Structure 1
Amino acid sequence: MANSEKVPIPEEPSKNNEALLRRIVRKIDYRLNPLMLACYTLQFVDKVLLNYANIMGLSKDVGMNGSQFSWLATAFFIVFSVAQLPGGYFLARYPVNVYLGCNMVLCGISLACTSACTNYASLVACRVFLAIGESSIAPSLSLVTMKWYTREESSKRYGFWYTGLGWGQIIGGLLSFGFQHVPHGAFGSWRGMFLTLGLVNLLVAAWSFVIPDNPASATFLDAEEREWCTRRLLLANKTAPNARRFNWRQAFRSLQDVAVWLIFLISALCSLLSGAITTFSSTLITGFGYSPEHAALLNIPSGAVTIISTLLATYFDRQVPRSLAILILVAPSITGGALMSFAHGKAASLVGIWLINTVTPILIIAMSWAQANCAGHTKRVVYNAMVMIAFGVGNICGPQTFRAKQAPTYRSATITILVATALAGVVTVILLFIYIFRNRRMSRRDTLEDVDAEVHTIANQTDLDMPTFTYVY
């Protein structure tokens, strides 16, 4: 879309079209949500398998020693973070379904090749390519959600596919438990686990290629439904759903927004927690005296906590402001960090590990909050990239808080988890006040009285440029 092109804002659809709306949204849900859940579940299983593989003999088989395991996780997220920048650009330029499918293919090949690794260098190489592939999964799913749903509808869909984190923990634990009972032949132990998951990723990649890029190209909708869907999304989201041009002005304007950086900080702090627990929870549990088989099973409740907290986050989004939802989820995570740091007895520490997982859906709330409070296709892409870079930064720092000499308690790591959780709550309150201030400032502007809908250049504007934009809390 050229910079000079003006996009007319359509009139709001009549309430008489509510039946049509329900029919369209139901069709979209059936086509997209199962795929998005499958993609996000698989990308998280990819991550937790390294956690389980470490207690299944991975370190011994590839000759890892000392802190190499921590650096293996860190290297993954360094590449993951760096890949967000070119990934965001490509995502803005190419059809999201094709880009998602290509990255799922790369993930599948990388995982399958991991099963053949015999030394540390080959394992690092596979993790690097896996990081490149996974770096664009969540941004792609976020963009799919915002291309197909209004701001009011999107939170429920974000919550649905984000439960994949919990399902990933559960599936990963069951896979680990199952493969620990397979005879250690060519497909035994952790090698068979990685090969199996790689093949499943390739199947889901093929599925990704067949979904449409946007409502205007959806063959499962008729002509009337496609036009109506496109018009209502343009009205509700202030962004054309079929936009694909990367606007450098919007990109630089986005980076000048303090709200972008506060969302970045919230996401990084929460990701530090989840990254530490994702990589080291099995190691912590075996340090309590449990066997590797029991450690795999005792990690399953973490997945259940993630699913429940994600569903609660989705419910909260319809009932309470997103900022309050974040603060509600931070509270049990602080309790979990305190139990891990100061409680005596393995039962209390185990409960602490489970409670930490209530922080997991905060990342998707932050992403949903960011998307709801921005306008412009490029700014949405930049927001996605910033949240995912923050995710990578947090996961880079998280594993590095664990020092081998502090085993099995890892006291400095557990205290860091506690402090990071509390800071995430503080930053959330600061961001809330910024949005409140902006809305009050906007309400006093004379320009709010009239905006010419026919010449409103939606494609080229961010929320900071729109006097009628209202921020949600």
Structure 2
Amino acid sequence: MADQLVQHNLAVDSAPADDHNTSSSDEKKSLDASVEIKSTDAGILAVDDLAYKDEALKLVGLERTEVFSEEYYRRLRRKLDLTIPPLCSMVYCTQYLDKTALNYARYHYPACIPIFFLPPASIMGFPVTGQGYNLVALSFYIGFLVWVFPTMYISQKTRIAKYLGINVVLWGIVMMLHAIPRTFAPFFVLRLILGMLESCVAPILILIISMFYKKSEQASRISWFYMMNGFSSIIGGFLAYGVSYTSDPNLPSYKIIYILLGALAILSGIAVLLWMPDSPTNARMLSREEKIAAIERIRDDQGGTENKKLKKDQLIETLTDLRTWLVVLSTLLTNIPNGGLANFSNIIIKNFGYTTKQTLILATPAGLIGIITTPLVGWWSDKKGERMLPIVYILIPTLVGAAMLVGLNGSTDKGALLFATYIIGTYGSSLSQIYAYNASNTSGHTKKVTINAITLATFCVANIVGTETFLPQDAPNYIQGKISILVLLSAECFLCLFMRWYNLHLNKGKRQAIAQLKRDNGWTDADIAKERERHAFLDMTDKQNPYFVYTA
């Protein structure tokens, strides 16, 4: 790497240290930083105004000036844990319930029964049937795909938690409006809008977690809200089961579901508006001292917090970064099977010889598998500093279960078949690990926003494609669909190992570059540590920042 010398001139007019007697206008530090670059081979950006840097620099300087004890950091983390993960979990739970409400509204069991194999009549009185129902179901994903990129770039320009809260309230209203129409067109439009409004959820939650938590804490916090998928599937199934017994002809069961879930979403959105912090710099729940501590505790991770400026260079880098497309491929390989299993797992159980209501009860342990394995995998991922190996480990039971279903095809051993169906569900936590991979391995706010949007768009496409792996002509055993699970997830195991190796390879190159900097400029380890501090909040991407370390 060619010679590089980065010189920072920093003038700071600090606000008073007393966080109880400081006005909001006094909380900001005026910062005028200039950067002189002899060589740009490392991709270091020349920055000359605060708008181009991280929002964190409104409170802290380029170098660490305040030091907090580990006990102080632990108390601060506990305070964050009491607010951020619960709100994230509530939103994610609400989203899952609302996204699958159409299936609950038509039938009294969870959304795992494929619409192609159910009778045309709706026991809940849902007025749209046949191909119209299929199109209404598809419209959600159309809205999601169309709006996921615009909504993320809009969120970057706004206060991100407030933007999320408004979207949640709006989709709650849209949910309740589903109780009004009785024809295809309004339902199609409402589901389209619902998909648009819900497309911001996971990317924003990942961004919020990455702003407040260290890399070694992110996977577990993401897993806490992601396990709501399993929790919600259980709640939704039993809620729909109970509502299905209502007999008032003036208020069909499907309307009750939409009204209840819509009201829940509105309450969740209000809670987010009131209590979810947008970033460490403007978190009302934190004192000024705690805001600074929240920023300083993530400084060494080099991930930054947020920046309101949409940067073309970061957008281009995201699209040209090999790691982006590895994430896309990984998301496809894990979620094409998800698209099939999410829609067909219950009918697979039913085909073992159970009634519909027996299937409803027997399907609930699959949700419990997700509730147990997702936080466990997240905890282990943080403890070991790994992102890809946990995916490999959780795919092993899924591969064993799929192999058992193929090998036991035609068997009457219901116990073994049910066991195989249950352990297949361990793959579900793989997407939470991909979320954590993005959070821990991406720097630069525009790049974060873009990679999260790409991941969610890929997830949406994969689930649509996945429904085509279980074809009507393969009923009732769906051997081809089960084999596709084996093939795709086996390939994912090898891809995860490659992605892990590639990140370690990039880290090796960064260590060599830093060693070269020390030799060329006569820097000591202390000089490197100071430069690392100065780079933390310049809103540089992981590739531009020579001090960024990838998590394997």
The match for 2:33 is none
Query: Residue 337 of structure 2: which of 273, 276, 282 is its match?
Result: 273
The match for 1:325 is 390
In structure 2, the residue corresponding to 1:357 is in which secondary structure?
A: helix
Query: Residue 418 of structure 1: which of 477, 486, 494 is its match?
Result: 486
Relative distance call for 1:313 and 1:158 in structure 2 (3 A) is same
Query: Residue 64 of structure 2: which of 11, 15, 20 is its match?
Result: 11
Relative distance call for 1:324 and 1:352 in structure 2 (3 A) is same
Task: Say whether 1:255 aligns with 2:316.
Answer: no
Relative distance call for 1:107 and 1:410 in structure 2 (3 A) is farther
Relative distance call for 1:298 and 1:126 in structure 2 (3 A) is farther
Query: Residue 130 of structure 2: which of 50, 65, 86 is its match?
Result: 65
The match for 1:34 is 86
Query: Residue 468 of structure 2: which of 390, 393, 400 is its match?
Result: 400
In structure 2, the residue corresponding to 1:219 is in which secondary structure?
A: coil
Decide whether the 8 Å contact of 2:330 with 2:495 is kept in 1.
yes
The match for 2:196 is 132
| Paired amino acid for 2:286 | L
The match for 1:466 is 545
Task: Say whether 1:141 aligns with 2:205.
Answer: yes
* Superposed displacement of residue 289, structure 1: 4.1
| Paired amino acid for 1:386 | I
- Give the 5 Å matches for 1:291-440: 291-320=355-384, 321-343=386-408, 344-345=411-412, 346-440=414-508
Relative distance call for 1:340 and 1:467 in structure 2 (3 A) is same
- Give the 5 Å matches for 1:92-103: 92-103=156-167
In structure 2, the residue corresponding to 1:468 is in which secondary structure?
A: coil
Q: Point out the more displaced range, 359-368 or 346-355.
A: 346-355
**Distance (whole Å) between structure 1 residues aligned to residue 357 and residue 141 of structure 2:** 27
Decide whether the 8 Å contact of 2:63 with 2:534 is kept in 1.
no
In structure 1, the residue corresponding to 2:249 is in which secondary structure?
A: coil
Q: How many residues were matched structurally? A: 470
In structure 2, the residue corresponding to 1:282 is in which secondary structure?
A: helix
The match for 1:44 is 96
**Distance (whole Å) between structure 1 residues aligned to residue 453 and residue 236 of structure 2:** 27
**Distance (whole Å) between structure 2 residues aligned to residue 226 and residue 20 of structure 1:** 12
Relative distance call for 1:170 and 1:364 in structure 2 (3 A) is same
Decide whether the 8 Å contact of 1:74 with 1:399 is kept in 2.
no
In structure 2, the residue corresponding to 1:183 is in which secondary structure?
A: coil
| Paired amino acid for 2:76 | I
**Distance (whole Å) between structure 1 residues aligned to residue 54 and residue 346 of structure 2:** 55
| Paired amino acid for 1:79 | G
For 1:118-142, what per-residue CA distance to the aligned partner results, in whole angstroms no more than 9, with x for missing partners? 3444333222111112111111111
**Distance (whole Å) between structure 2 residues aligned to residue 9 and residue 230 of structure 1:** 12
Relative distance call for 1:73 and 1:334 in structure 2 (3 A) is farther
The match for 1:216 is 281
Q: Point out the more displaced range, 453-462 or 26-35.
A: 453-462
* Superposed displacement of residue 203, structure 1: 0.8
In structure 1, the residue corresponding to 2:354 is in which secondary structure?
A: coil
**Distance (whole Å) between structure 1 residues aligned to residue 235 and residue 133 of structure 2:** 22
**Distance (whole Å) between structure 1 residues aligned to residue 396 and residue 361 of structure 2:** 26
| CA-based RMSD | 2.6
Decide whether the 8 Å contact of 1:80 with 1:135 is kept in 2.
yes
**Distance (whole Å) between structure 1 residues aligned to residue 104 and residue 348 of structure 2:** 12
Decide whether the 8 Å contact of 1:239 with 1:459 is kept in 2.
no
Task: Say whether 1:225 aligns with 2:293.
Answer: no
Q: Which has the higher helix share?
A: 1
In structure 1, the residue corresponding to 2:297 is in which secondary structure?
A: helix
* Superposed displacement of residue 100, structure 1: 0.8
TM-score relative to the length of structure 1:
0.91
In structure 1, the residue corresponding to 2:82 is in which secondary structure?
A: helix
In structure 2, the residue corresponding to 1:465 is in which secondary structure?
A: coil
Q: Point out the more displaced range, 197-206 or 313-322.
A: 313-322
**Structure 1 regions of 5+ residues with no counterpart?**
none
In structure 1, the residue corresponding to 2:503 is in which secondary structure?
A: helix
Decide whether the 8 Å contact of 1:39 with 1:204 is kept in 2.
yes
For 1:127-169, what per-residue CA distance to the aligned partner results, in whole angstroms no more than 9, with x for missing partners? 2111112111111111111121122222221111111111111
| Paired amino acid for 1:45 | L
**Distance (whole Å) between structure 2 residues aligned to residue 160 and residue 261 of structure 1:** 26
**Distance (whole Å) between structure 2 residues aligned to residue 48 and residue 408 of structure 1:** 24
The match for 1:158 is 222
* Superposed displacement of residue 419, structure 1: 2.1
| Paired amino acid for 1:412 | Q
* Superposed displacement of residue 188, structure 1: 4.4
| Paired amino acid for 2:63 | P
Decide whether the 8 Å contact of 2:209 with 2:222 is kept in 1.
yes
Decide whether the 8 Å contact of 2:305 with 2:537 is kept in 1.
no
**Distance (whole Å) between structure 1 residues aligned to residue 135 and residue 416 of structure 2:** 29
* Superposed displacement of residue 36, structure 1: 0.8
**Distance (whole Å) between structure 1 residues aligned to residue 188 and residue 152 of structure 2:** 24
| Paired amino acid for 2:188 | V
The match for 2:10 is none
For 1:270-294, what per-residue CA distance to the aligned partner results, in whole angstroms no more than 9, with x for missing partners? 2222232223333444444433333
Relative distance call for 1:70 and 1:258 in structure 2 (3 A) is farther
In structure 2, the residue corresponding to 1:444 is in which secondary structure?
A: helix
TM-score relative to the length of structure 2:
0.78
Relative distance call for 1:315 and 1:291 in structure 2 (3 A) is same
Report sequence identity in percent: 27
Decide whether the 8 Å contact of 1:52 with 1:176 is kept in 2.
yes
Task: Say whether 1:180 aligns with 2:233.
Answer: no
More relative contact order, 1 or 2 (CA 8 Å, 6+ apart): 1
| Paired amino acid for 1:42 | T
Relative distance call for 1:172 and 1:448 in structure 2 (3 A) is farther
**Distance (whole Å) between structure 1 residues aligned to residue 492 and residue 102 of structure 2:** 27
Decide whether the 8 Å contact of 1:272 with 1:394 is kept in 2.
yes
Decide whether the 8 Å contact of 1:59 with 1:69 is kept in 2.
no
